[in-house]
Structure 1
């Protein structure tokens, strides 16, 4: 994309709609996406940071007046600057608190969508992290009324549930002019933010006042919702108002060197630490899936006023799993159509079928997710088996037709001689056998007969045994004893031929059954590998959340917040139990 386009338009009516142009762009991105969204009050320089991440001065509209420029949510997709296997997706959101809009409900919608779609959420504010700045973060507390993690009214969830699925939280403090010193000691920007998020302490045998409870509320929400937090402070870009109003035209040399260095540090951190967007912890999101999520969440928020993450997973998985079945089966079908039939042997056919089946299965496994009870996997396997059987039958039919045509070609004179009674005379049996042998030799010299080559020949030879008995009876050159002996030999040969034909059919069936067995075993193996991969991702996420909760508990202990320590300890115990069980648990 050479420039950003609107992803979610904020109509004058207050309704949010996903733009078709953005859908078209996103649907073409097959790589995993790293999604960075910026939110915050209008006219605080959010767009500038997004442009820096894109490696450009111009892109998202900066604006230089008191009016908000960005409406809705705009998107810019670019190659990741450091990781070639993924795409960086930047989301610039409409400024919160726009006096011209006058609808705080709409602000919460925009904030919630940015939060749901991103793997990194940048909160942009100006000045310092004080009570006023925290009060403006009221949107975080409101999202629990708009975003649900679990489906169903009866399912309880707490703030810790959100932290498992919410993005990295980065607080970007703009135009920061204070020294990073607390209690006479220099601190980092992270220390500064965490100090601002400290709770009011409860005095012994006292209860918090309502004012103190409100003071703690937003802090607890931020800490519990966002387990991984980071803070960056930015100096004023320049004291020159003319340059400040045209930052998109300014070079680094025209800006405050400290601000330039801080901007580079901010970008470097995101490029290194921002992870691929995942759904349900284990599902990698690409452009197409991000597009579907945008549509699902926007529609849910604007209609039901509730965006449920689990419902979105189910809705998206049903649609993608059905498509995975269709695409994987179609892949196998297309490959088999390209394969030349008939094959010379059944093994050759099954080897090709097995290869394409494995490729189709891999495609299905890559595209499917959260396949409850393996419903779609079963559908894929049944469809694949049916189509494989159709191709197997086609392989046999083509071979049958070719072989029957060859027999007809080489036996034309022989068949005519039978009609003419040529062999019904003295010495006719010897002539009959010589003629039949010539047909067999000529037929066997033919190539490209396929899997039915021997079976068709044996059936043809067997079909002539009754005629051979008649010829023997009419052959005066043979004695009665020789006729009886020849007749007995023919009956033995007929039985041997029938056994041989049955054996070929049994071997063919055995190969089919073995192929199905091998296919099932490989499917189980692939499924176990996929489950193990998902389990590993889940355990890594649980371990990450566990570390965050332990750090939070230690912080609460220092703040003497006993209730919060107890609540976190319960959550830590629950996470430890999940780790000990080492089961493929689903956090949702």
Structure 2
């Protein structure tokens, strides 16, 4: 029994392929379709009762939705060796139900045929086997040697070799299950791939047996050039668990088996590529087409040919792409475009591009078939465009002529109006032309417009111009008189202009004298402003030096604040760490309590599950009894109804046959009478022949309808076979078949009515001998077809009897399932006992864990208390340091206040100087007095500078900065004039105190280097001062 592209139970024949499809993104292609509900397996191929291969409509519909590239993986092997389990694990549990469907007619050569189909349609072929590779395993693969007899690459009488088929074969993966051997060759480890290649090496020796063995090995190597081998250990050690492997979680399997399964899954998803034939990647519809072509060849008893099958698929897909491209062109062609050659050509090209894009996306192949349909498509585009263009131009011409007639009427009305003028007529004409240009299109648009303009210029426009010329002549004479009066006024205005120009020249001389006086005054004021600016810049430099001193003091305060913040942050971090450790201990205790509660709940749930298993078993027994009773009732009803139908059909057929024989006798008598009157009907033969042809077409249509009826009956039989397993659906099938038969009886009645009408026409044309003979022949054919239909009805009755036999078999299957349910109940009871024992062990473990946790808690609490005491001591030390730093900050704040007072006094002096400068600039005195005033202002500035220096000296003697502690506990006086030489200051820097050196470094913007030294002594600070300030190397 073979299974192909479906997921199912293991069967009883050596080869049993299973497959699943996935797209290029390594996901299941069938699942990518928008199907609602949980994922489930879909059967692709099956054998009907006649032994013919068929495709399941459900799988075809699902694959039609997969427009992306699709890859196919097939799994085959001996029965009952876990192919379904492996396939479920490889596709990541997409199908979570127990899978199964069985063939019963695929024996003999079917094994080789389906093996050949699996190789042709797969991207990866997995051969599932228990144990290692030996001669028996290679003998089971002897189907490979027979494949060349059932497949051909090209059409012809020559058989195809395995090496020629190798270029179309998939990746071959030999999966060895329950593998227990050590992979060692010549005292060294080898890989599973090496093990496979060693097994496929030719056997040394001669004889028929060795030649047969080598033939199998050569065929495998030639047919599968890309091959790989994987080994899996036994998943479980318990035999009972192996029988229900699909029900066991992966976590309970052996780690070695899980690791090998993960490697296998990774290999399948990395190496499986979309299926290709002839350089073309297969999609879902293309896969359906090539599969159907292979099946047609097998069902007809022929050998599948890869090239001819692919050509038929190419033709079907190209035809479908051609139809879709035609629809897209007709739908996307923009018929709203104006009927202009350029616009229509653009719309035509755009529609062609979209249609060709759709064709290229759907068409398959690159050969002559694709070029043929491309040429047909181009011809269709040209014909459709020319037809539409001709109609559009004709309609546009009609619109242009109508528009020009209305334009002529409106133009004549504008020219004959009472207030008509050239401007008004031009406006009306522009409006008409704009309307015409916007509303009318076509190739003759401008030619008709030119004719219209020529006619309008020679007609109404010419009359209007003549009338306006007469009006302009009368207006010209009146304008000449007005011109003469205006010339007299211009002479008077010219005299007035001469007088005004003389007055203007005198005024300009006065204006130049005033400007010269103004420039002299401006130069004098500019000199005074320059002097004042120089004094202001000297004052500004002094102010900037004072501001730098203030900034250095602020920087020192910021440094102390940073140190204080760092100490506080370290203290907080330690406190947070202690609190977090306490919280971790609390969370551990709560987690242990939660585990206790969870263990108790698991024990309770296990007891509840055992009770539910008992309830399910009772319910299953009841359902099985009810199903058996319903099946018996349905069998009785169906047998009675089939007998009644058979009797009625036989009676109806006997009556119809007797009537037809009587009609034939009557027609033969009429034929004899018609032969006697042939001489009188020669003139009417031509009309009678036309009627004979129409009657023949009606008879052929009746034959086509009868054939369609036969096809529909076959389809209903196929659907009935797919729903055999479910006993409840038999009643629905019964009603469906009754409806089918009733509709067929109605059609027979319609056929009889048509026959009666044909007989009436035959009575009217009794004089035509040839027509009567044709009617007799048609009646005989209908009689034979009716007899054939009766035979088919008898065959359908026999199929119904087979369905009854299948129901009896399903009854036995249900009894087997009941037996399995009883065994599963016993397993459930054993599981419950095991769970109870595990719960007791867990409770004991939890108690021991709680004791150890309590001991750890007591020890950790003691450690934390010691840590808290040490942290409190450190916190007290940090508080003392903070108080010292706050005192230092207060001293720095006092310094800042004194500097602020100095700045305010400087600002007061500056405001006084500004007020003096303003009073000096606004005074109206002579130049000599102004010079004396400027000298006095400079003297005042010098006096103010001296006062400021005296104030600075007096303040410096009282400032605490100049009296600082030295390193040995004494004080050093740093008074003196501000104008000391820099050489003396550089020589005496070794006498500076530590505090003074720090101030100097911060003043020169080297505070960061000073902070980098942790707890420096005076030597280190002096070295830093020499390096940064004095720049000594």
TM-score for the superposition, normalised by structure 2? 0.38
- Residue 164, structure 1, aligned to residue 164, structure 2: no
Are the counterparts in 2 of residues 118 and 167 from structure 1 also a CA contact under 8 Å? yes
Question: CA offset at residue 239 of structure 1?
Answer: 1.9
| Residue 184 of structure 1 pairs with residue 215 of structure 2 | no
Alignment of 1:267-282 (within 5 A): 267-280=265-278, 282=279
1:71 paired to 2:102: yes
| Alignment partner, residue 578 of structure 1 | none
Aligned to 2:445: 456
Q: What is aligned with 1:173?
A: 176
Map 1:40-189; keep pairs closer than 5 Å: 40-56=77-93, 58-59=95-96, 61=98, 69-71=100-102, 103-153=107-157, 157-189=160-192
Which residue of 185, 189, 197 corresponds with 1:194? 197
- Are the equivalent residues in 2 in contact too, given 1:10–1:71 (CA < 8 A)? no
- Name the one with the larger helix percent: 2
CA contact (8 A) 1:342 1:396 kept: no
Structure-1 separation of matches of 2:354 and 2:461: 58
Q: Which residue matches 1:237?
A: 235
Q: Is the 8 A contact 1:122 1:169 kept in 2?
A: yes
Q: Could you tell me how far 1:57 is from its partner in structure 2?
A: 7.5
Q: Secondary structure at the match of 2:319?
A: helix
Give the C-alpha shift of residue 60 in structure 1. 7.3
> How far, CA to CA, are the matches of 2:405 and 2:80 in structure 1?
88
Matched, 1:444 2:434: yes
1:314 to 288, 311, 316: 311
Question: How many angstroms does 1:354 deviate by?
Answer: 2.4
Q: Hey, what's the Cα distance between the residues in 2 that align with 1:457 and 1:435?
A: 21
Task: Report the counterpart of residue 407 of structure 2 in structure 1.
Answer: 410
Q: Any conservation in 1 of the 2:414–2:428 contact (CA below 8 Å)?
A: no
Distance in 1, matches of 2:437 and 2:462, equals: 37
Distance (Å, rounded) in 1 between the aligned partners of 2:445 and 2:426: 14
Using the TM superposition, give the Cα deviation of residue 405 of structure 1 relative to its aligned residue in structure 2, in angstroms: 4.1
Contact 1:57 1:248 (8 Å CA) reproduced:
no
CA offsets per residue over residues 77-96 of structure 1, 9 Å max, x none?
xxxxxxxxxxxxxxxxxxxx
What is the Cα deviation at residue 399 of structure 1? 4.2
Kindly report which structure 2 residues correspond to 1:419-438, keeping only aligned pairs within 5 A, or say none: 438=428
| 1:146 shift after superposition | 1.0
Normalized per residue, which structure has more strand? 1
> Contact 1:61 / 1:70 at 8 angstroms: preserved in 2?
no
CA deviations 1:381-436 (Å, max 9, x no partner) are: 11122223344445545544544443343233458999xxx9xxxxxxx9999979
Give the direction of change, closer, same or farther, for the CA distance of 1:127–1:329 in structure 2 (3 Å limit): same
Distance 1:412 1:470, change over 3 A: closer
| 1:406–1:463 CA distance, 2 compared to 1 (3 A) | closer
1:473 Cα deviation from its structure 2 partner = 13
For residues 472 and 58 of structure 1, what CA distance do their matches in structure 2 show? 89
Other structure's SS at 1:128 match: coil
Q: Please, what is the CA RMSD of the aligned residues?
A: 3.5
- Could you say if the C-alpha distance between residues 470 and 359 of structure 1 is closer, same or farther in structure 2, counting changes exceeding 3 Å? closer
Query: Given the superposition, is the C-alpha separation of residues 246 and 198 from structure 1 closer, same or farther in structure 2, using an over 3 Å criterion?
Result: same
Deviation at 1:179, TM superposition (A): 1.1
Q: Does the aligned pair in 2 maintain the 1:108–1:142 contact within 8 Å?
A: yes
Output the CA distance in 2 between the equivalents of 1:244 and 1:415.
105
Equivalent residue runs for 1:311-390 within 5 Å: 311-337=308-334, 340-342=336-338, 346-368=341-363, 369-372=365-368, 374-390=371-387
Contact 1:189 1:231 survives alignment (8 Å): yes
1:434 to 1:459, Cα distance in 2 relative to 1, 3 A: farther
SS in 2 for 1:331: helix
Equivalence for 1:15 = 52
Q: In 2, distance between residues paired with 1:149 and 1:313?
A: 10
Alignment match of 2:291 (pick from 290, 294, 298): 294
Q: What is the alpha-carbon distance in structure 2 between the residues aligned to residue 193 and residue 448 of structure 1?
A: 81
SS in 1 for 2:164: helix
The equivalent residue for 1:497 is none
Q: Identify the range of structure 1 (143-152 vs 366-375) with the bigger mean alpha-carbon deviation.
A: 366-375
Describe the shift of the 1:395–1:102 C-alpha distance in structure 2 as closer, same or farther (beyond 3 A): closer
Q: CA deviation at 1:445?
A: 4.0
Q: Structure 1 length as normaliser, TM-score?
A: 0.65
Render the CA deviation track for 1:326-357: whole Å, top value 9, x for unaligned: 211221221114x63226x6444433432332
Structure-1 residue corresponding to 2:23 = none
Deviation at 1:301, TM superposition (A): 1.3
**Per the alignment, in what secondary structure is the counterpart of residue 103 of structure 1?**
coil
Matching residue within 256, 259, 262 for 1:258: 256
Q: What is the CA–CA distance in structure 1 between the aligned matches of 2:446 and 2:131, rounded to whole Å?
A: 92
**Distance in 1 between the 2:395 and 2:168 partners?**
56
Structure 2 gaps of 5+ residues are: 1-30, 32-38, 468-1033
Aligned partners of 2:152 and 2:304 also within 8 Å: yes
Distance in 2 between residues matched to 1:138 and 1:295, nearest whole Å:
26
Instruction: Describe the SS at the equivalent of 2:125.
Output: strand
- Deviation at residue 30 of structure 1 after TM alignment: 0.7
Q: What is the CA–CA distance in structure 2 between the aligned matches of 1:359 and 1:137, rounded to whole Å?
A: 51
The 2-side partners of 1:221 and 1:450 are apart by 77
Pick closer, same or farther for the CA change 1:226–1:460 going to 2, 3 Å.
Answer: same
> Greater shift after overlay, 294-303 or 352-361?
352-361
Shift of 1:472: 12
By how many angstroms is 1:13 displaced?
4.1
Distance 2:405 2:360 in 1: 48
Write the distance in 2 (CA, Å) between the matches of 1:310 and 1:121: 21
- 1:175·1:234 contact (CA, 8 Å) conserved in 2? yes
- Which secondary structure does the structure 1 equivalent of 2:154 belong to? coil
Question: How has the CA–CA distance of structure 1 residues 102 and 399 changed in structure 2, closer, same or farther, with 3 Å as cutoff?
Answer: closer
Shift of 1:191: 0.7
- Counterpart CA distance in 2 for 1:126 and 1:291 is 33
- Closer, same or farther: CA 360–58 of 1 in aligned 2, 3 Å: closer
- Could you give the per-residue CA deviations for residues 52-106 of structure 1, whole angstroms, max 9, x where no partner exists? 12211755756xxxxxx5435xxxxxxxxxxxxxxxxxxxxxxxxxxx7682312
Question: SS of the residue aligned with 2:45?
Answer: strand
1:95 corresponds to: none
Residues 224 and 59 of structure 1: is their aligned pair in 2 closer, same or farther, counting only changes over 3 Å? farther
Query: C-alpha separation between the residues in 1 aligned to 2:422 and 2:150?
Result: 91
Query: Residue in 2 aligned with 1:556?
Result: none
* Residue deviations 1:266-285 (CA, integer Å, cap 9, x gap): 111111111101122x1111
Q: Give the C-alpha shift of residue 188 in structure 1.
A: 0.7
Specify whether residues 450 and 190 from structure 1 end up closer, same or farther in structure 2 by C-alpha distance, changes over 3 A only: farther
Indicate how the Cα distance of structure 1 residues 469 and 166 shifts in structure 2: closer, same or farther if over 3 A, else same.
same
Distance (whole Å) between structure 2 residues aligned to residue 398 and residue 174 of structure 1: 79
Tell which deviates more after alignment, 190-199 or 399-408: 399-408
1:537-548 equivalent positions in 2, closer than 5 A = none
Q: Is the 8 A contact 1:41 1:124 kept in 2?
A: yes
In the TM superposition, residue 466 of structure 1 has moved relative to its aligned partner by 7.8
Contact 1:40 1:124 in 2 (8 A): yes
Larger Rg: 2
Once the two structures are overlaid, the 10-residue window that deviates more, 5-14 or 434-443, is 434-443
Residue number in structure 2 paired with 1:524: none
Q: Relative contact order: is structure 1 or structure 2 higher (C-alpha 8 Å, sep ≥ 6)?
A: 1
Gap change, CA 1:310 and 1:406, over 3 Å in 2: same
CA contact (8 A) 2:232 2:257 kept: yes
Q: How far 1:131 sits from its partner (Å)?
A: 0.6
- Post-superposition Cα deviations, 1:238-278, rounded to whole Å, max 9, x if no partner, equal 12233222222211121121111111111111111111011
